[in-house]
Each structure stands twice: as C-alpha cells, then as structure tokens.
Structure 1
C-alpha cells in the first residue's frame, strides 16, 4: 500500500492518533498522540528522511496498542516497521523489577541503528522535559534511568544526543532547585 504516498509522516501521525485514541498522557491528560507528534517533530529537526520521521510518529504504537507488526508493515513498509521495532521495549513485567526491565530495554536499544537511536533520543527529550514539574518524587529515579539510556544511544544523531544530554541536565537542575523549596526537604 505504500506506493504513491506523498506524505508518509502525515499518514503516520494520523495512524498514531487513531491507534492511541483511547490513551491520554499520564500527567497532563492530553491526547497521547500529542507526544507522538512531538517526537516526530523533534526528529524532523535533524533528518528529512520520511521513513525515520514516520517511525518516530509511530514509535509507541507496537508497545502501547493492539496494532501488530504485520499490520504496520502492510501500511508503512518494512523499514518503518523495523525502526519502530528497534525502539519498542522488549521487557515484560515477568522479566523482573523495574531496574532489570530497564536494563533489558537498554541492551536492546544499544543494538539499534543510528536512526532508531535518534528516534529514542527524541522520545527521551519529550518525556524528560517536564518530569520534574509533574512528578518530583519519581523524577530522581526516572532521570537516572535516562542517564543510563543516553550512554547506549551515542550512535544516534550527535546534535540530537547533545540536545538530549542538555535536556537531562536541565531536568536534574530543576530537581535540585525543587528540593530546595520550603517543604520539599
């Protein structure tokens, strides 16, 4: 079906919006598809490859919806689907505690392509940018996980990796400042 598509990223955003239609962002309650759009937009700042931008829009579809890889492949082709698979968490609850599951996911991401790492960096940026604002209690552990994740994504776009690093540093500074506020000690 992919032949003749003029705007693959726009099709992917529409598909993601439909696939995630019942989901809301945890802290804001906004449609989950907004996150998909944000990640695709960040990726589009660093590449004009429509497959990579489309995969960025679809990055959580296999992980968080009932869409199968075969269904995605039928619409978007092999390359887009493989990129989404690269950034899809492989761990399951039965794999152990959160630390163990995140370790398994990092090992998977360490083997991703440069394009897959680039998508995951954009995801990290969008997810990290407001964690301190919405969940100071969880932010410390979350930011440590993202620090470890950055270590295995160095093969992604270098400028985007730097942006992710700076986003993480800013979130860590925000957390320190938040802990200095009265009543936060």
Structure 2
C-alpha cells in the first residue's frame, strides 16, 4: 500500500496544523477514518484516495492542478481523472465566501441539492464523511450538533445512489445522534 502511504502523507502535509472543530485531534485523523470506512465496502485505490483527499481543495491551499500532478505520479491517467472528479464533487460549492448574500439555510439547501446529483461513488464517500462527523459531533457535546445532524439528514435525503450499506449506517448514525442530542 505504498500509494496510500504517499497519499496519506500528502494529506497530512496539506492539512498540517489543522485541528478538528469538535474533537481536539489532528484533522488527518478524520480523513483516515473516512478512508477506513470506505475500505469496508471497496478496495479500489482511487476511491480510498478520494476519501483521504475529500476536504483538500476546500480546506487547504492545495490547488486542483497540484493535486492532479501529485496523483498522476502515482495513478494511471484514468485513475487520476476519476480521483480528481470525486474530490471535486465532494468540495462544497455553496460556501459563505462565494455566496455571502445567502444565509446558511439557503446555502446548505443548495449544497444538498447539488450532492444529490453527484456520482454514486462520491455519494458513498460522503456517507463515510457524514458517519464519522456524526459520531464525533455527538460525542463532543457541541451545541452545533443538532444543526449539523439536521443538515446531514437533509443531505442523505437527497443522496441515495451510493453504497446501500454505508447509506444505511450514515442514516442510522444521524438518527441516533439526533435522538441523543434531543435527549431521547
């Protein structure tokens, strides 16, 4: 798994110094967990790579071109294209920076609609992301947990083409999280 080690190292360096918002740990831990969740349903390296890199373009200074160059040194042209496609699909479009005139509810609704149209593979990775985030935010006791979980539920209602097993786990984690934060 030399390729995955190189990709993990690339993600580690790109996310250097970043910490999780609701759990005091290096950001890389989340990315590794998302990739491990994906490994439960696939052994395809480009999918696992996209899971490790899913927040890269959104949360770091790494450009699409730099990521493409990095991937092309490790993957075939088709694998590079696919991995980049999935990372792009998983990168938020309706951000506050790009849509400051919209409130959070409008941005998140538009993002959920967009996520409903992405590939089944990218949806599968997003399920793993939601699963890990839901478990973390509920454990943290954050007051933001109910809002995150409601938004995750809205995303899952729109995204139903990915891996059915992970979809079910993500839905259960969100539902259980909502029960816990609502005190039931």
Give the TM-score normalised by structure 1.
0.88
**Unmatched 5+ residue regions in structure 2?**
72-79
Determine if contact 2:22/2:136 at 8 Å carries over to the other structure.
no
Determine if contact 1:38/1:126 at 8 Å carries over to the other structure.
yes
Q: CA RMSD in A?
A: 1.5
Partner Cα separation in structure 1 for residue 139 and residue 41 of structure 2: 27
Match of 1:3 in 2: none
Larger Rg: 1
**Unmatched 5+ residue regions in structure 1?**
1-5, 181-185
The question of 1:72 aligning with 2:67 is answered yes
Which of 162, 166, 174 is matched with 1:160 structurally? 166
Which of 107, 112, 115 is matched with 1:106 structurally? 112
Partner Cα separation in structure 2 for residue 7 and residue 118 of structure 1: 24
Displacement over 4 Å in runs of 4+: none
Match of 1:9 in 2: 4
Which of 84, 87, 90 is matched with 1:87 structurally? 90
Give the TM-score normalised by structure 2.
0.88
> Tell me, what secondary structure is at the counterpart of 2:144?
helix
Name which of structure 1's ranges 128-137 and 153-162 shifts more when overlaid on structure 2: 128-137
| 1:23 to 1:160, Cα distance in 2 relative to 1, 3 A | same
> Tell me, what secondary structure is at the counterpart of 1:156?
coil
Residues matched between the structures, number: 173
Match of 1:173 in 2: 179
